[in-house]
Structure 1
Amino acid sequence: MDSIIQTYRLTKKFKDVEVIKPLNFSLRKGEICALIGKNGAGKSTMLKLLAGQLLPTMGEIQLFGKSGKDLDYARKRMGFMIETPTFFPDFTAIQNLEYFRIQRGIADKKRIYTVLEIVGLANEKRKKFQDYSMGMKQRLGIALCLLSSPDCLVLDEPINGLDVEGIMEIRKLLMKLNEENQITILISSHILTELKLLAKRFVFIKNGVIVEDLTRESLEQKSRKQLLLTVDDSAKAARLLEQAYADIQFKVLPNNQIIIENHVEKGGSINHMLVEHGVMVKEFRMEALNLEEYFLGLVEGKNND
């Protein structure tokens, strides 16, 4: 698969503080990749380096296989929304985009109407930017990113501050751009449950270092449901589980607790089987490690696996 973005030992220092430590990262064509990290983890700095808003201290950036002096040309194939775009409050969407079209030397005037149609603002021709909702403002920001017909979007917190409806609109829009227009997307956000619905890959960053890089399938595996049992005799319960299910995966914890990691859908049968064979089940519940818990464990050093 072709790499859209590739970094080699990318490093950024501010005075003596190394905000991005030698970082190797690649984004492949067609991906929706989520960049996840707490405030100060280095997310925005990394995206600003890709956008050319900051210069690296060391290392190399390649965009579409181009580097060095060719980067500026390659960036024309990218759409960046690193900070909330500054639009003219008294201008309509068309007037704002016309200003940026001229400023950026984009010849096709019809492109303005095309991108407004894509982001769902085609019917808001008379409304001024100052009267837009937060969701509409974010959609106009994405329309601006799309003005130059990019192959890749890099979006920093595009759903920050939106209500539930606004978040859903942006998610649907980004999925449509990826699926119908084959646009590759790199997105950062703090709204982790939303990222789980959108992204196909999850890159966790902490103190300027990528600490984990997971596919959606791997993340699902790590955040899968499990059964938690508290019994009066964990040794007997373990023997019964092994006899009943040859491939059962479980852990025996202190205080007669057992975590069962597979056959979760057979919880009722497992409970009945243990009770029938004289094991008192004091507690029986299903629990899932969600994305937020996994993320917090990862960036705060609680997860060891």
Structure 2
Amino acid sequence: MDAVIQTYQLMKKFKNETVLKPLDFTLKKGEICALIGKNGAGKSTFFKILAGQQMPSSGEIHLFGKSGRELEKAKRRIAFMVETPAFFPDFTAVQNLEYFRIQRGIVDKRRVYEVLEIVGLKQEKKKRFRDYSMGMKQRLGIALCLLGNPDCLVLDEPINGLDVEGIMEIRQLLKKLNQENQITILISSHILTELNLLANRFVFIKNGVIVEDLSKVLLEEKSKKQILITVDDSAKAVQLLERANADIQLKVLPDHEIAIQNHVENSGKLNRLLVENGVMVKQFSIKTLDLEEYFLGLVGGDQHD
């Protein structure tokens, strides 16, 4: 397994409050992993510790298999956007990136233009930063991350405050970086629906604890449509449904309610089958499991970072 980031029992305390409980986490090479939780769940604290902006109270971090004295060198292979980068408002994109290129000791002057092209700002290179839209500012932030040719990006809430178009642009950019440049991405947000279109792994955090870790496939399993039927005789209804459809997947719920996980496209036929065979159908509905609701329940709470 190619592990990019590994944490072992990572913990952070502020005075009497434990913001991160002992956390074991592994980010594998090639993943786009979404860290999801409400504000104050511990996402930003975790990212700041990874970036070296805060020290953990206890625990260990390994980057690309390196730890201890080798950690600082390994950290150069990761670019962090944990807080909004402080760009000069009167500078153009080129001037801003040129400043950071010199500051960071990056020799290749062409890299500034390369990263602007990657993030789609090549045409806007003469516009002053203060005239940028929020989406353009975020893309310039990602361009800054890419200056040093990183193998991994760690992005804290990069789509926060963006409009629909801006969110779509960032999503397409991150997918491109992952697929074409083989950059591993760890991204945090509380906007599950958007991350569902981007990530291939979903880690949910609440009160500094990972409460769920799902692959894309498992997440989609949880969001499938299902048929809900309330009848007068659930035993008879189940018998009829199973006899007519050998592959039917159903669950009998309390109060004579039946949940059917497949055959959603044949809902009309199933309803008719029951009615024609003397089963009284009191309620019949098709419901998509609400992921947002499910996971808000999972990561809910009113904490503060």
State the AA in 2 paired with 1:146: L
CA contact 1:37–1:299 (8 Å) conserved in 2: yes
The gaps in structure 2 that reach 5 residues or longer are none
Relative contact order: is structure 1 or structure 2 higher (C-alpha 8 Å, sep ≥ 6)? Answer: 2
Between the two proteins, what is the percent identity of the paired residues? 74
Q: CA deviation at 1:18?
A: 1.1
Q: Residues 288-303 of structure 1: matches in 2 within 5 Å? A: 288-300=288-300
Cα distance in structure 2, aligned partners of 1:141 and 1:300: 30
Q: Does 1:133 align with 2:133?
A: yes
CA contact 2:38–2:300 (8 Å) conserved in 1: no
Match of 2:145 in 1: 145
State the AA in 1 paired with 2:63: L
Match of 2:28 in 1: 28
Q: CA deviation at 1:263?
A: 2.7
Match of 2:52 in 1: 52
User: What SS does the aligned partner of 1:9 have?
Assistant: strand
Cα distance in structure 2, aligned partners of 1:133 and 1:239: 60
Q: CA deviation at 1:15?
A: 1.1
Match of 1:264 in 2: 264
Q: CA deviation at 1:249?
A: 2.7
State the AA in 2 paired with 1:132: Y
Report the TM-score, using the length of structure 2 for normalisation.
Answer: 0.95
CA deviation map 1:165-195 (0-9, x unaligned) = 0000000000000000000000001211000
Q: Which runs of 4+ in 1 moved over 6 A?
A: none
Report the TM-score, using the length of structure 1 for normalisation.
Answer: 0.95
The gaps in structure 1 that reach 5 residues or longer are none
Q: CA deviation at 1:147?
A: 0.5
Q: Residues 63-102 of structure 1: matches in 2 within 5 Å? A: 63-102=63-102
State the AA in 2 paired with 1:260: I
Q: Does 1:112 align with 2:112?
A: yes
Match of 2:196 in 1: 196
**Aligned residue pairs, count:** 301
Q: CA deviation at 1:29?
A: 0.4
Cα distance in structure 1, aligned partners of 2:172 and 2:147: 19
Cα distance in structure 1, aligned partners of 2:108 and 2:60: 33
Match of 2:282 in 1: 282
CA contact 1:177–1:183 (8 Å) conserved in 2: yes
State the AA in 2 paired with 1:161: G
CA contact 1:231–1:257 (8 Å) conserved in 2: yes
Mean Cα deviation higher: 274-283 or 248-257: 248-257
User: What SS does the aligned partner of 1:178 have?
Assistant: helix
Match of 1:180 in 2: 180
Q: CA deviation at 1:242?
A: 2.3
CA contact 1:223–1:294 (8 Å) conserved in 2: no
Q: Residues 206-285 of structure 1: matches in 2 within 5 Å? A: 206-285=206-285
User: What SS does the aligned partner of 1:274 have?
Assistant: helix
RMSD: 1.3
